Amino acid sequence: MAKLKTVIVKFSALVGTASQSEKIRKLVGNNVIKVQQLFPGEKEEDLASLFEVVLDEKSSVESVLSTLCNDESIEYAHTPEERQPI
Amino acid sequence: MSVEGEEDKDLTGMNVMKLETYRDAQRACEMLVSDPKVEYAHLIQERFLSPSAKRKVTRGNNQTLDPLISRQWGLVAVNLFQALKMPGFNTAKDIVVAIIDTGVDANHPDLDGIVTDEQNFTSGPLQDTKGHGTHVIGIIAAMRNNKIGISGVCQSQKIMSLKALGPYNGPGYYRAIRYAINNGAQVINLSLGGGHDQTEELLIRKAIKQGVIVVAAMGNEFKEGNPTSYPAAIDGVISVGASTEVDERASFSNTGPHINLMAPGTSILSTVPTYPVELADVLNYEAWPGTSMATPFVAATAALLLAKKPTATLKQVTQALVKGSDKVPGQTGFSKEFGHGRLNVKRALAGI
């Protein structure tokens, strides 16, 4: 099974879920499998402005992150760090 | 290895074998004793220079009927039994402690009825298939005086087990933290770590701002370059290193300026699932090392502090923990190695 890649995107402000999802799709292009709010229905704006972006296995994560981070409306974008039981 | 040059007949047949793991040695003993030519085979027991070098847990100085209590050296080290005798001591039965980990075997007889909320944020089964979460939860809350196994530190009967590890996925982990905040967790135990993650930090800061006590492990990679481990290094998180039976830093325990205190973290006996899992060699109970094991001692003590003073703030809880900790031999003040010292439950409770 192909390994999908996940990127987390945080906008500086929540403008609208649909329009911001669409913006991510436009910026990233054809490699997007899914875009969704990380916390659907969230009332707190800083958490509501987080999006989970699933990319296909062919994507260059570095390139996607670079594109996203260059957009002024995006506060940050990153891949989740692995967490292990220690 | 045999005893060479020995003339005493009783000693000439003695051989010493060295095996990789404790479990391998146990199995070798079992196989050897079944051979009629072998008189006996046993594991070599540890010996200490003086009786005081090893902490003793005896019926005389503990107050529990749990049969494995004598192997829980950590409870003596943190002065729990003295704390139990303090006037007005309250268990933390109503304090909600969230454990974000590998899940739990909620059917373990020593954890019977204490897990009141069990959620799965992974793509795997709800069941704890690694055993790590079950071990951590046992240290915090295994039932005391039930005549079974061990005793946990704080006796919370409102354990929130949030499975986010095994297999790990970032969004699931973030949702587990958010779930804990939204659903009344008063203490969050994070016996996990890794590199810096902006979204984790955003969520942990939010939890702290809302008054949740977040306790995290320093990490076990001291010998692999001692990297800074997160979430332990986030401001406001209570960061815990591992100490040994003789109050030294465990050789694997990471150091750094963000460490708050140490707690017992070597050979910590606790619950493991009643079914075979990835990380345990045996069923039901096993002793493990790790800052993962030290962290729940502190998280459970934070719960006891909240039980004593429900209005206590993060600052007050942190101060009670660090000011109440015992300086370890050779320590004069805060150090990146030991933090403020080794946890002392009685002194922490007296300080709030």
- Name every chain B residue with its beta carbon within 8 A of the beta carbon of A80: 169-171, 173-174, 197, 199
pLDDT at residue B32 in the model: 82
B181-204 tens-digit pLDDT? 999 999 999 999 999 999 999 999
B252-296 tens-digit pLDDT? 999 999 999 999 999 999 999 999 999 999 999 999 999 999 999
Mean pLDDT of chain B: 91
B258 in catalytic set: no
Does the distance separating the beta carbons of B191 and A85 come in below 8 Å? yes
ipTM reported for the complex, 2 dp: 0.96
Does the distance separating the beta carbons of B230 and A85 come in below 8 Å? no
Distance from C-alpha of B248 to C-alpha of B246, rounded to nearest angstrom = 6
B101 in catalytic set: yes
Residue A31 falls inside a structural domain:
yes
Residue A10 falls inside a structural domain:
yes
B131-168 tens-digit pLDDT? 999 999 999 999 999 999 999 999 999 999 999 999 99
Q: Which residue reads 């502190």 in tokens?
A: B298
Distance from C-alpha of A29 to C-alpha of A32, rounded to nearest angstrom = 7
B235 in catalytic set: no
Claim to verify: residue B14 and residue B144 sit in the same structural domain: no
Range of the domain at B41: 1-45
CATH number at residue A71: 3.30.70.60
A26: closest CA of chain B, how far (Å)? 22
Residue A85 falls inside a structural domain:
no
Q: Contact B226/B264 with Cβ under 8 angstroms?
A: no
**Which tokens is B179 given?**
């779930």
pLDDT at residue B46 in the model: 43
**Band (B5; pLDDT cuts 50, 70, 90):** low
Does the distance separating the beta carbons of A79 and B171 come in below 8 Å? no
A9-59 tens-digit pLDDT? 999 999 999 999 999 999 999 889 999 999 999 999 999 999 999 999 989
**What phi and psi, each to the nearest 5 degrees, are found at residue B163?**
-80, 115
Claim to verify: residue B188 and residue B213 sit in the same structural domain: yes
**Of B108, B128, B132, B253, catalytic:** B132
Claim to verify: residue B227 and residue B267 sit in the same structural domain: yes
Radius of gyration in angstroms for the set of CA atoms belonging to chain B, rounded to a whole number: 21
Claim to verify: residue B28 and residue B84 sit in the same structural domain: no
Does the distance separating the beta carbons of B195 and A81 come in below 8 Å? yes
Residue A83 falls inside a structural domain:
no
B242: closest CA of chain A, how far (Å)? 11
pLDDT at residue B47 in the model: 37
Number of structural domains (chain A) is 1
Angle at B154 between CA B95 and CA B92, to 5 degrees: 30
